[in-house]
Amino acid sequence: MIETARSQGTWCQSYHLTPAFARHSSGVVEIYADGFPKEWLKLYGDPAFRAFDPLPDQVIAQGRTMTWLEAKDEVLAKGNVPPQTVEYFEKSHAAGLVHGVAIPLYGPNYRNAYASYGFVDEVSIDDKRVRTLIAVASATHRRIVDFLNQPVDHHIALSNREREVLFGISRGHSNNEIASLLGISPETVSTYVKRLFAKLETRDRIGATIKGLKFGLIHV
């Protein structure tokens, strides 16, 4: 999903997997983020701040893909907007999160999710790139939900270093960023990533994160 998103011209993306019946911006949502500024990740990582992000609930409730600007305008048009939500919009704009699309994703047993992709320039829902992102995000979400519905019937052993790399992946860090944090070379990180994908039987970083969480290999 990450590679496809980048090939469509996005500069940041996130996938939010919500437990059944929970709010889509609550502290229990599992989030995978890639490409966002570090300052924004730190801010959004605060559950108290994230609770006032209205876009996930807005898009899921509408049941359709929307641009960030369209979703924002609809939220503000309702009136009685909490000051914390206004602050959220101001800080997201300051972080460069202006143009993008928000995609609702639905699965069985109320396992719904939300995908968000940022673009440098204004984008339309009718854009061919957006249609591609919708298809890929939907397919990825169905695959993740199918996996989560499977019983855990085997143990996966990871070394301490593999767990460190997997945790870095779960935080949305690139191989270069993980290498810098761990004091090893990017090439070594790449080797660990390939090894993790093989052990976890996945093809991408989001799949590795979800499996790592399900098997209790990491906690984020």
Residues 117-159 pLDDT 10s: 999 999 999 999 999 999 999 998 988 888 777 766 667 889 9
The pLDDT, as a whole number, for residue 55 is: 95
The pLDDT, as a whole number, for residue 71 is: 96
Supply the pTM of this predicted model.
Answer: 0.76
168: CB partners within 8 A, 6+ apart: 177, 178, 181, 182, 189
Contact 104, 60 (CB under 8 A): yes
Among the ranges given (54-58, 92-96, 209-213), the one the predictor scored with the smallest mean pLDDT: 209-213
The pLDDT, as a whole number, for residue 12 is: 94
What mean pLDDT comes out for the span 34-48?
Answer: 91
Per-residue DSSP letter, 110: G
The pLDDT, as a whole number, for residue 19 is: 74
* C-alpha dihedral sign at 130, 133, 139, 143: negative
What mean pLDDT comes out for the span 23-35?
Answer: 78
Q: φ, ψ for residue 57 (rounded to 5)?
A: -65, -40
Domains of the chain: 2-148 (3.30.450.80), 160-214 (1.10.10.10)
Among the ranges given (13-22, 72-81, 103-112, 115-124), the one the predictor scored with the smallest mean pLDDT: 13-22
What mean pLDDT comes out for the span 180-193?
Answer: 95
Q: Give the mean pLDDT of the chain.
A: 89
